[in-house]
Amino acid sequence: MSIQITHLLVFLSIAIAVVSAFSPADHYLIDCGTAESTTTVDLDHRSFTGDGSSSILSATRSVASRNSNANPNLSPIYHTARVFMKPSDYKFKIKEKGTHLVRIHFQRFNFQNIGSVCHDQFHVSANGYVLLHNFSAPKRNPSIKDFLISIDDDELVIRFIPVDKSSFAFVNAIEVISAPKDLIPDNQSDGVNMKHAFETVYRINVGGVKVTPFNDSLWRNWVPDDEFLKSGDDSVKSYSKIHFDGRIQYHLGGASREVGPDNVYNSARIVSSLNDSIPKLNITWLFPVKNGFSYLVRLHFCDIASISLGMIYFNVYLNGNLAYENLDLSTLANYKLASPFYADFVVDSEKFSGVIRVDIGPSSLSMPHAVDGILNGLEIWKMDNSMKSLDGEVFADQLESKNRSNGQMGRLLSLTAAVCLLAIAFLVMRRKTEAKHSTGWSQLPVDMPEIDLKSIHQKSTGVNV
Ligand SMILES: *[C@@H]1O[C@H](CO)[C@@H](O)[C@H](O)[C@H]1NC(C)=O
Ligand SMILES: *[C@@H]1O[C@H](CO)[C@@H](O)[C@H](O)[C@H]1NC(C)=O
Ligand SMILES: *[C@@H]1O[C@H](CO)[C@@H](O)[C@H](O)[C@H]1NC(C)=O
Ligand SMILES: *[C@@H]1O[C@H](CO)[C@@H](O)[C@H](O)[C@H]1NC(C)=O
Ligand SMILES: *[C@@H]1O[C@H](CO)[C@@H](O)[C@H](O)[C@H]1NC(C)=O
Sequence spans of domains, the chain: 19-178, 197-383, 396-464
How far apart CA 44 and CA 34 sit, in angstroms, is 19
Does residue 448 surpass a pLDDT of 60? Answer: no
Please give the share of the chain, as a percent, with pLDDT higher than 90: 60
Ligand 3: residue whose CA is nearest its atom 1: 215
- Does the fold of domain 197-383 match that of domain 19-178? yes
Report whether 425 contacts 444 (CB < 8 A). Answer: yes
Q: Is 86 exposed, middle or buried (0-12, 13-18, 19+ CB in 10 A)?
A: middle
Report whether 377 contacts 283 (CB < 8 A). Answer: no
The closest of 117, 22, 13 to 61, measured between CA atoms, is 117
pLDDT score of 38? 87
Ligand 1: residue whose CA is nearest its atom 13: 392
Least confident of 73-82, 122-131, 186-195, 198-207: 186-195
How far apart CA 384 and CA 14 sit, in angstroms, is 39
Does residue 145 surpass a pLDDT of 90? Answer: yes
**CATH 3.40.190.10 is the classification of domain 197-383:** no
pLDDT score of 188? 52
Ligand 5: residue whose CA is nearest its atom 5: 320
pLDDT score of 221? 96
Name the band, by pLDDT with cuts 50, 70 and 90, for residue 348: confident
pLDDT score of 124? 98
What pTM, to 2 d.p., does this model score?
0.81
The more confident residue out of 409 and 71 is: 71
Beta bridge partners, 105, equal 144, 173
How far apart CA 139 and CA 153 sit, in angstroms, is 35
For 440, other C-beta atoms within 10 Å of its C-beta total 10
Burial 272-299 (b: 16+ CB within 10 A, else e): bbeeeebbebbbbbebebeeebbbbbbb
Name the band, by pLDDT with cuts 50, 70 and 90, for residue 114: confident
Does residue 269 surpass a pLDDT of 60? Answer: yes
What average pLDDT does range 373-400 have in this prediction? 94
Report the CATH architecture of 19-178.
Sandwich (2.60)
pLDDT score of 341? 93
Tens-digit pLDDT profile for residues 418-432: 444 444 444 444 444
pLDDT score of 245? 95
Does residue 62 surpass a pLDDT of 50? Answer: yes
What average pLDDT does range 197-221 have in this prediction? 96
Across the chain, mean pLDDT equals 81
Beta bridge partners, 88, equal 160
**Beta strand 47-52 pairing with 240-243:** unpaired
How far apart CA 144 and CA 105 sit, in angstroms, is 5
The closest of 5, 61, 52 to 32, measured between CA atoms, is 52
Report whether 349 contacts 254 (CB < 8 A). Answer: no
What average pLDDT does range 34-53 have in this prediction? 91
What average pLDDT does range 310-323 have in this prediction? 93
Q: Is 380 in the pocket of ligand 1 (CB under 6 A)?
A: no
3-state class (DSSP) for residue 48: strand
User: How far does the centroid of ligand 3 lie from the alpha carbon of residue 286, in Å?
Assistant: 27
Q: Is 392 in the pocket of ligand 1 (CB under 6 A)?
A: yes
User: How far does the centroid of ligand 2 lie from the alpha carbon of residue 324, in Å?
Assistant: 24
The more confident residue out of 429 and 242 is: 242
Q: Is 210 in the pocket of ligand 3 (CB under 6 A)?
A: no
What average pLDDT does range 120-148 have in this prediction? 95
The more confident residue out of 274 and 154 is: 154
What average pLDDT does range 170-181 have in this prediction? 96
Greatest C-alpha distance within the chain: 108
How far apart CA 57 and CA 211 sit, in angstroms, is 32
Name the band, by pLDDT with cuts 50, 70 and 90, for residue 194: low
Please give the share of the chain, as a percent, with pLDDT higher than 70: 78
Name the band, by pLDDT with cuts 50, 70 and 90, for residue 15: very low
Name the band, by pLDDT with cuts 50, 70 and 90, for residue 234: low
Least confident of 9-23, 119-133, 443-457: 443-457
* Secondary element (H or E) of residue 145: strand 143-151
User: How far does the centroid of ligand 1 lie from the alpha carbon of residue 177, in Å?
Assistant: 31
pLDDT score of 219? 95
User: How far does the centroid of ligand 2 lie from the alpha carbon of residue 187, in Å?
Assistant: 6
For 181, other C-beta atoms within 10 Å of its C-beta total 12
Name the band, by pLDDT with cuts 50, 70 and 90, for residue 81: very high
Least confident of 127-136, 369-378, 430-439: 430-439
How far apart CA 287 and CA 380 sit, in angstroms, is 9
Which residues contact residue 284 at a Cβ distance below 8 angstroms, ignoring those fewer than 6 apart?
A: 229, 230, 357, 358, 359
Helices (H), 303-442: 329-332, 401-434
How far apart CA 88 and CA 330 sit, in angstroms, is 52
